[in-house]
Amino acid sequence: MKIKIIFLLSIVSMVGILTACATSVKRVSPDEIIDLSGRWNDTDSRLVAEAVVKDALTRPWVDNFVSKNSKPPTVIVGTILNRSHEHINVQTFTKDLERELTNSGRVRFVAAKGEREELRQERAEQKKHSRKDTVKAPGREIGADYMLKGSINSIQDEEGGRKVVYFQVTLEMIDIEDNIKVWFGDKKIKKFVKKRRFGF
């Protein structure tokens, strides 16, 4: 009898464990903030890009350029270095920056280095194969006035089941012609992570 009870309890325990380990998927809004691990995530990338670009575009360098040249400045995003302790997809963050800059209407934005090569190849192909009245001529690219560069840094402090993760994104807007830095900004993120302890 005892063996049967132990056997039944073992089965119930196994079912409970398997049920607890079952995968559940729920669709959520891409804008919903979900932070599971405390690591850099899509929300951090989006919010930082929005904050730093908003700050950059309200500073005097934009209006100074417009008043001097009667046109908005042209910007390109350069290298964003990941100096944090985590693997971060910097390309996603760069695209968030590009989106915010382009959609602001305050600046013009030119294609990045890799994209320009593809466009140049397309123009060369058009010259060979397209109707003359539709061919896009070479040598008409717009040169950028400013380059946005920066880095992502982090500090991690951990003790027992608790952890504090600190990110600092530092960005600079640099005049390409004379290397003068016309804007310097940063955004800080601090997360407190507490690991749950499970007992059986």
85-134 pLDDT, tens digit per residue, is 999 989 999 999 999 999 999 999 998 888 889 999 999 999 999 999 99
Find the mean pLDDT for residues 186-192: 93
Lowest mean pLDDT among 3-12, 63-72, 76-85, 190-199: 3-12
* pLDDT at 3 (0 to 100): 66
CATH class assigned to 37-194: alpha beta
% the chain with pLDDT above 70:
82
Q: How many whole angstroms separate alpha carbon 153 and alpha carbon 112? A: 23
- Tell me the pLDDT band of 18, cut-offs 50, 70 and 90: low
* pLDDT at 196 (0 to 100): 73
Structure token digits, residue 50: 């929005």
Q: Which residue would you say has higher pLDDT here, 47 or 15?
A: 47
* pLDDT at 113 (0 to 100): 82
Query: Exposed, middle or buried, 166 (CB in 10 Å: 0-12/13-18/19+)?
Result: middle
Find the mean pLDDT for residues 133-150: 93
pTM above 0.85, yes or no: no
- For the chain, what is the mean pLDDT? 87
DSSP annotation of 70: S
- Position 164 pLDDT exceeds 50: yes
Nearest CA among 7, 80, 5 for reference residue 48: 80
Find the mean pLDDT for residues 152-164: 89
